[in-house]
């Protein structure tokens, strides 16, 4: 069985992030790390491998040279091979472009299963998985909260969460693509053996062709919240001040 896991490098939102002058991307030299949703996708693939052993896992990422650190991290966690589809573009890349690049790589590789995280932490579009499945002509299920491979290795029992906390169950025949939710499993830490292997093993490197789209996207800082007013004095003075403020804002 061959499994492809899509991983993305995202700005670390736990660190300070600024918007660049043009509003097209985050500010200078942000800290990057693996998208947390993709950690769950990789762990799900690793769990399948522990059950069926004869499983090869490839981790693929689209982006400039810096994304190789995320690919190597995936190999440290247990992916057998890392694939870097290099594009020169820094900054925001539309999900349809990412999906198109991965589709061009994966279409003739015979993958039985493609696993994506539910969304990326920066764009939060939740579109790469479904778009990739459509481009490859594969059945796809999103918001997966449980996945169990049947004994024949040809079908998955899927549990999906939809609006209102409702859960639906499916039987999904392979080849297929799924997008998994956070909390579906508990991502592991890398082992020393895998860390040493990842350092020695080369990453498959491909240079992507240019794809032009008319997508327009702009980042902006969140508006500054209005400041609260602290009212002091006696209860009567506070009551009078509250009434004054309400009249001033035409609430009363």
In the chain, where the domains are located: 2-207
Low pLDDT (below 70) residues in the chain: 16-17, 20-29, 212-221, 252
Residues 224, 221: Cα–Cα separation, whole Å: 9
Q: Is the dihedral of CA 38, 43, 48, 54 positive or negative?
A: positive
Residues 7, 21: Cα–Cα separation, whole Å: 28
pLDDT at 212: 67
Residue 149, SS3? strand
For the residues of 11-69, what is the DSSP string, one character each?
E-TTS---B-TTSSSB-SS--EEE-HHHHHHHHHHHHHHHHHSS-EEEEEEEESGGGHH
For the residues of 100-125, what is the DSSP string, one character each?
HHHHHHHTTS--SEEEEES--TTT--
Alpha helices in 123-190 (DSSP H): 128-136
Q: Which two tokens stand for residue 24?
A: 């097209």
pLDDT at 166: 87
Q: Is 64 exposed, middle or buried (0-12, 13-18, 19+ CB in 10 A)?
A: middle
Residues 118, 124: Cα–Cα separation, whole Å: 9
Helix axis angle, 68-77 to 192-200, nearest 10° = 140
In this structure, CATH architecture of domain 2-207: 3-Layer(aba) Sandwich (3.40)
pLDDT at 179: 96
pLDDT at 217: 63
pLDDT at 172: 93
pLDDT at 221: 66
Residues 163, 245: Cα–Cα separation, whole Å: 41
The pTM (predicted TM-score) of the whole model is: 0.82
Residue 82, SS3? strand
């Amino acid at each position: 069985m061959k499994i492809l896991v899509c991983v993305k490098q995202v700005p670390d939102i736990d660190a300070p992030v600024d918007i660049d002058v043009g509003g097209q991307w985050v500010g200078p030299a942000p800290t990057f790390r693996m998208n947390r949703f993709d950690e769950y996708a990789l762990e799900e693939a690793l769990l399948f491998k522990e059950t069926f052993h004869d499983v090869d896992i490839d981790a693929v990422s689209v982006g400039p040279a810096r994304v190789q650190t995320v690919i190597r991290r995936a190999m440290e966690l247990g992916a057998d091979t890392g694939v870097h589809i290099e594009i020169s573009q820094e900054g925001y890349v539309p999900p349809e472009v990412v999906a198109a690049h991965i589709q061009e790589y994966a279409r003739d590789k015979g993958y039985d299963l493609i696993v994506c995280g539910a969304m990326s932490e920066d764009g939060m579009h939740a579109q790469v998985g479904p778009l990739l499945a459509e481009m490859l002509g594969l059945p796809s299920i999103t918001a997966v909260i449980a996945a169990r491979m049947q004994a024949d290795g040809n079908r998955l029992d899927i549990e999906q969460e939809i609006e209102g906390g409702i859960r639906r169950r499916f039987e999904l025949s392979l080849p297929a693509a799924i997008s998994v939710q956070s909390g579906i499993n508990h991502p592991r830490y890398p082992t020393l053996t895998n860390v040493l292997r990842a350092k020695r093993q080369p990453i498959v490197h491909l240079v992507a062709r240019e794809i032009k789209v008319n997508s327009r996207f702009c980042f902006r800082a969140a508006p500054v919240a209005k400041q609260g007013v602290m009212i002091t004095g006696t209860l009567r003075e506070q009551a009078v001040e509250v009434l004054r403020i309400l009249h001033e804002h035409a609430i009363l």
